[in-house]
Amino acid sequence: GNSVTQMEGPVTLSEEAFLTINCTYTATGYPSLFWYVQYPGEGLQLLLKATKADDKGSNKGFEATYRKETTSFHLEKGSVQVSDSAVYFCALSDLGVTGGGNKLTFGTGTQLKVEL
């Protein structure tokens, strides 16, 4: 079955540091890949997505590239801010592969803490 593996957290960084959160996946076919962010007490917000190999998703300074050869979708940001403190989830969608509708398979989440 499908699975997503994320690096363990928490990740603690100083403001303006470079961020990388690793994500690898196992899936049949050609899934779409996503990063969602969850702030305390809230639901999930879509951060960025990529639907095919070599696509780069980007939003709010965050980027991730769909690497089929390494089955990876690592999240990066050049300079983090305190306001980026949240839990980040990598996910894949097997839409159309199984014909049974769409469902997201999530990683375990990585908590990011950014300090001044």
Q: Which of 3, 60, 102, 115 binds another protein (CB under 8 A)?
A: 102
Burial 36-72 (b: 16+ CB within 10 A, else e): bbeeeeeebeebbbbeeeeeebeeeebbbbbbeeebb
- Helix or strand holding residue 41 (H, E): none
- Interface with another protein in residues 14-73 (CB under 8 A): 32, 34, 36, 41-46, 49, 51
Please identify which residue in 73, 109, 110, 114 interacts with another protein, judged by CB under 8 A: 109
Binding residues vs another protein (CB under 8 A): 32, 34, 36, 41-46, 49, 51, 89, 91, 93, 95, 100-109
